[in-house]
Amino acid sequence: MNLQAQSASGPSPYRILRETDLREYLAGLPAIVAQLGGAPADWSISEVGDGNLNLVFIVKGKSGGVAVKQALPYVRLVGESWPLPLSRAHYEHMALVHQARLAPDLVPAVLHHDGPLALTAMQLLEPHIIMRKGLIGAVSYPRFVDDISTFMARTLFFSSDLARGAAERKEGIAAFASNHALCKITEDLIFTDPYRIAEQNRWTAPYLDDTAAAFRDDLDLHVAISRLKLKFMASPEALIHGDLHTGSIMVTDSETRVIDPEFAFYGPMGFDIGAVIGNLLMAYLASAGHERTPGERAAFEAWLLDVVEGVWTEFARKFLALWRSEASGDGYPASLFTGEAGAARLEAERQAYMARLFQATVGFAAAKTIRRILGLAHNIDFEWIADEKQRAICEARALKLARSLMLEAPSFTTIATVTYAARELRHWQPHFAR
Amino acid sequence: MNLQAQSASGPSPYRILRETDLREYLAGLPAIVAQLGGAPADWSISEVGDGNLNLVFIVKGKSGGVAVKQALPYVRLVGESWPLPLSRAHYEHMALVHQARLAPDLVPAVLHHDGPLALTAMQLLEPHIIMRKGLIGAVSYPRFVDDISTFMARTLFFSSDLARGAAERKEGIAAFASNHALCKITEDLIFTDPYRIAEQNRWTAPYLDDTAAAFRDDLDLHVAISRLKLKFMASPEALIHGDLHTGSIMVTDSETRVIDPEFAFYGPMGFDIGAVIGNLLMAYLASAGHERTPGERAAFEAWLLDVVEGVWTEFARKFLALWRSEASGDGYPASLFTGEAGAARLEAERQAYMARLFQATVGFAAAKTIRRILGLAHNIDFEWIADEKQRAICEARALKLARSLMLEAPSFTTIATVTYAARELRHWQPHFAR
């Protein structure tokens, strides 16, 4: 269902807001006026969107601020030649409502949503910064493991067959099904393009030319990524965030907030968990490129690998705890696992379920890594390494790790085997033909 | 979306049709009048529904006949105490349209559909009989393997990620998502109840009392059936028929028609294929109970196992052929498998895909067998064996086969291993405590 189609006949009320329009619009919303304080004419408004898709305005008044996000009918990064449905703002809002109900302190509070304008006004996150930038600066975040594991355990568990009835889940799947233009971006840019010649691909040339060519010829990888793509397209395990990288997380020392769930739909849980872990592993292997003196970031890097381990371990612990205490879904009916023996067998199956989920997570973490080095959209973790050869060295390490994770996922049985593999590659020196 | 909710406000136009109403209703439909011929007053109308859910009328005129199916707002078998949405007629009609487009000669042609009345008029199938009845009479059907394998290969392939784009598939999944009341019947009656104490369960007592109790205590089985249930609920691989047993297939020597797809939704392909194979295996193991002299049905039984093998073999052959020639879906993009090496690797992956599908098929075949012997709805294959002990012997063989299939699915690597196991059990004598 295209949400735009729901509006009454006649000209669409959608228009791209400029600063003046926005000021006028917000002045008509009592809740926003109260949040901002002071006279509308005195509000400061600045457009700060540095993502690829939307407009983002920071509005500040006498007593407070709001962030206003408006979808554009095209991909901002590219322009009108790449149209993208406004309805993504509708799905983002639905996902935010889901997440706010389950993890209220871990997402920005929604203050106002306007469907026809594809606009959402949210709590302004201050002094939070994008986590990726903090990691590049070697800042560690003591709350992160606990917060992100809570966010994922609760949002994923409570939209799964373990927690919800099949009928309710089918209605949920249907409600997000038409967000497929956003899914298509993922399907192409993550699961297909990095493994073939695609105009939008780029990499740190010439150093990675041979590696990119090898990935395009690596049929084992092509089978593995194709299986992951099928899983992405047809495994509605939970309502996933869909784009849970460290650029979608804002942090301070004491707070974590997940933003930008416009890619949300019912998909495989491992895609979210793998996104977090893959991006942390990239931060780890990019770290060497940000050193001014050898070893100066060693403590930070050790912390990062602890975080990788903690993210999975704590996620699994919390997810299992929810499964043990709040399993009211149609999966694994309690009546089939009664008594002491039944409880023990179900617990063994829970562990087996987590092992299967871990395998998927490892695969998706690898997929997220490869696309950021050989595909269209790159991470500043690597991009901000000014020395191109040094950048390519860091990227080659990450690609080597990712290839191993994707092809040998079953041999990575615990998260410690993953961090071990990353640590082993920290000082590996690739040989570039050029 | 509840389709009933779409009708205009005011009293619902739905009413249960009696013979007189139906005659008047059909007389207003020129296509039906032309099909039947003669004066409406001379049409013969008889209600013949022997399924569990709906009214079915056979209407005959001077020159032809039609079958008219109307959904009731409850389960016919049980009555008004078990309500069931009329919208199932809408989903059945959508599924029939899908099937008729892909396998036009293998489903009854739809002549008329009335959404608000939850009514569909179809081509009358004459002199077809329900295949299950033919099999009980030891009749073999030379067209069956070719027809059912075509039906499944085409309806499943062309609604899969191998043939369709992800966006189109997501819209399809959403369009069938609200058929969840019918899915719920499957979830309960097939994947849960036979493995626990449930009021509606029955079995051939007292002979199978111990077996039924053992299945209720068999935690390995409970894990296996729970994994299959999860797969049923959250694997929208294709638009499946959803109830493809030998009672949903009408046959003559020269024709095969699949009827009654009201359980249709996007689910795992193996559920349909397993339904066919499981029901043929039941026909095979029930056959001994229909012997008047030992061995008189030996040739028929040998044919049945050939059919089991043929159903999988021909399905796999046709599905693979479609994949090789008509793969325009988003799964396994051609651009990742270019050149001779790519083609070879993709072909190897196709075989691996079929092996995974076969494992699921074996599991679902087992699930379909167990529910027909220990659950609510039984098959006349067994029920028509008047001697209860003899019936129990046949059923015990089928249960032993099914348990083995479900728990050791990975060891059944080819369909020949499945028919071998069935053949081995043909003369096995269970020992009943009572």
From residue B348, alpha-carbon distances to A228, A239, B337, B351, B409 in Å are 17, 33, 11, 5, 21
| The length of chain B, given as a count of residues | 434
Write out pLDDT tens, residues B123-158. 999 999 999 999 999 999 999 999 999 999 999 999
Q: Using CB atoms, which residue from A173, A230, A349 is nearest to B331? A: A230
Q: Using CB atoms, which residue from B161, B192, B345 is nearest to A333? A: B192
CATH superfamily to which A129-425 belongs: Aminoglycoside phosphotransferase (APH), C-terminal lobe (3.90.1200.10)
Burial class (CB in 10 A: 0-12, 13-18, 19+), A223: buried
Burial class (CB in 10 A: 0-12, 13-18, 19+), B417: middle
Interface predicted TM-score of the whole assembly (ipTM), two decimals: 0.95
The rounded distance, in Å, linking the Cα atoms of B66 and B45 is 10
Structural contact between residues A265 and A183, judged by C-beta atoms closer than 8 angstroms: yes
Alpha helix segments (H runs only) across B144-237: 144-157, 166-177, 180-189, 209-217, 219-234
Q: How confident is the model at residue A12 (pLDDT cuts 50, 70, 90)?
A: confident
CB-based contact B234 A229, cutoff 8 Å: no
Residues forming a β-bridge with A250: A130, A257
Tell me how close the Cα of A182 comes to any Cα of chain B, in angstroms. 10
CB-based contact B219 A337, cutoff 8 Å: yes
Lowest mean pLDDT among A73-77, A278-282, A391-395, B21-25: A73-77
For chain A, the first-to-last Cα distance in angstroms comes to: 51
Q: Using CB atoms, which residue from A174, A233, A237 is nearest to B174? A: A174
pLDDT on residue B6: 43
Tell me how close the Cα of A187 comes to any Cα of chain B, in angstroms. 8
The three-class DSSP label of residue B71 is strand
pLDDT on residue B9: 55
Q: Using CB atoms, which residue from B161, B184, B335 is nearest to A233? A: B161
Q: Using CB atoms, which residue from B161, B167, B230 is nearest to A180? A: B167
Q: Which residues in chain A are contacts of B331 at CB distance < 8 A?
A: 226, 229-230, 233
Q: Which residues in chain A are contacts of B192 at CB distance < 8 A?
A: 333, 335-336
| Residue B4 clears pLDDT 90, i.e. is over it | no
Q: How confident is the model at residue A167 (pLDDT cuts 50, 70, 90)?
A: very high
- Please name the residue of chain A whose CA is at the shortest distance from the CA of residue B267: A234
Interface residues from chain A to B (CB-CB < 8 Å):
1, 161, 166-167, 169-171, 173-174, 177-178, 180-181, 183-184, 187, 192, 195-196, 219-220, 222-223, 225-226, 229-230, 233-237, 330-333, 335-337, 341-342, 345, 349
CB-based contact A331 B229, cutoff 8 Å: yes
Q: Which residues in chain B are contacts of A180 at CB distance < 8 A?
A: 166-167, 170-171
Query: How many CB pairs below 8 A link A and B?
Result: 125
The encoded tokens of residue B424 equal 């081995």
For chain B, the first-to-last Cα distance in angstroms comes to: 51
The rounded distance, in Å, linking the Cα atoms of A129 and B218 is 54
CB-based contact B166 A184, cutoff 8 Å: yes
- Please name the residue of chain B whose CA is at the shortest distance from the CA of residue A165: B184
Per the prediction, chain A carries an average pLDDT of: 95
CB-based contact B166 A183, cutoff 8 Å: yes
Lowest mean pLDDT among A246-255, A338-347, A378-387, B50-59: B50-59
For chain A, give every residue range classified as CATH 3.30.200.20. Answer: 3-123
- Alpha-carbon radius of gyration of chain A: 22
B44: alpha, beta or left? (left if phi > 0; alpha if psi -120 to 50):
beta
Long-range contacts of A68-71 (CB under 8 A, 24+ apart): A68/A22, A68/A26, A68/A119, A68/A120, A68/A121, A68/A122, A69/A119, A69/A120, A69/A121, A69/A122, A70/A16, A70/A17, A70/A117, A70/A118, A70/A119, A71/A118, A71/A119, A71/A262
Residues forming a β-bridge with B239: B266
Element (H, E) at A204: none
Structural contact between residues B418 and B308, judged by C-beta atoms closer than 8 angstroms: yes
Write out pLDDT tens, residues A258-270. 999 999 999 999 9
Q: Which residues in chain A are contacts of B336 at CB distance < 8 A?
A: 192, 195-196, 222, 225-226
| Residue A29 clears pLDDT 80, i.e. is over it | yes
What is the CATH number that goes with domain B3-123? 3.30.200.20
Question: Residue A379 gets which letter from DSSP?
Answer: P
Q: How confident is the model at residue B41 (pLDDT cuts 50, 70, 90)?
A: very high
- If one counts every other C-beta atom within 10 angstroms of the C-beta of residue B121, the result is 26
- Please name the residue of chain B whose CA is at the shortest distance from the CA of residue A344: B219
Q: Using CB atoms, which residue from A170, A181, A337 is nearest to B180? A: A170
Tell me how close the Cα of A270 comes to any Cα of chain B, in angstroms. 15
Per the prediction, chain B carries an average pLDDT of: 95
Q: What is the mean pLDDT of residues A18-27?
A: 95
**Chain A interface test: which of B182, B220, B336 (most A C-beta within 10 Å):** B336
Write out pLDDT tens, residues A89-113. 999 999 999 999 999 999 999 999 9
**Chain A interface test: which of B159, B189, B222, B263 (most A C-beta within 10 Å):** B222
Report how many helices (DSSP H) and strands (DSSP E) chain A contains, helices first.
15, 12
CB-based contact B187 A237, cutoff 8 Å: no
Tell me how close the Cα of A152 comes to any Cα of chain B, in angstroms. 19
Q: What is the mean pLDDT of residues A194-222?
A: 97
The rounded distance, in Å, linking the Cα atoms of B193 and A335 is 9
**Chain B interface test: which of A168, A223, A345 (most B C-beta within 10 Å):** A223
| Residue A251 clears pLDDT 90, i.e. is over it | yes
Q: Using CB atoms, which residue from B170, B178, B230 is nearest to A331? A: B230
For chain B, give every residue range classified as CATH 3.90.1200.10. Answer: 129-425
| Residue A201 clears pLDDT 80, i.e. is over it | yes
pLDDT on residue A254: 95
CB-based contact A177 B195, cutoff 8 Å: no
CB-based contact A174 B169, cutoff 8 Å: no
CB-based contact A177 B180, cutoff 8 Å: no
> Residue A230's Cα: distance from chain center in Å?
19
The three-class DSSP label of residue A274 is helix
pLDDT-above-90 percentage for chain A: 94
pLDDT on residue A7: 43
Nearest of A278, A190, A274, A262 to residue A237 by alpha carbon: A274
DSSP string, A37-94: -S-GGG-EEEE---SSSEEEEEEE-SS-EEEEEEE-SEETTTEEEEE--TTHHHHHHH
Tell me how close the Cα of A355 comes to any Cα of chain B, in angstroms. 14
| Residue B1 clears pLDDT 50, i.e. is over it | no
CB-based contact A235 B234, cutoff 8 Å: yes
Edge to edge, what strands does the sheet with A54-60 contain? A44-47, A54-60, A65-71, A119-123, A110-114
| Residue A1 clears pLDDT 50, i.e. is over it | no
- Please name the residue of chain B whose CA is at the shortest distance from the CA of residue A338: B217
| Residue A118 clears pLDDT 60, i.e. is over it | yes
Question: Residue B433 gets which letter from DSSP?
Answer: -
CB-based contact B192 A225, cutoff 8 Å: no
The three-class DSSP label of residue B240 is strand
Q: Using CB atoms, which residue from A183, A222, A330 is nearest to B233? A: A330
Q: Using CB atoms, which residue from B178, B336, B349 is nearest to A171? A: B178
| Residue B2 clears pLDDT 50, i.e. is over it | no
> Residue A275's Cα: distance from chain center in Å?
6
The three-class DSSP label of residue A206 is coil
Tell me how close the Cα of B392 comes to any Cα of chain A, in angstroms. 24
Structural contact between residues A44 and A59, judged by C-beta atoms closer than 8 angstroms: yes
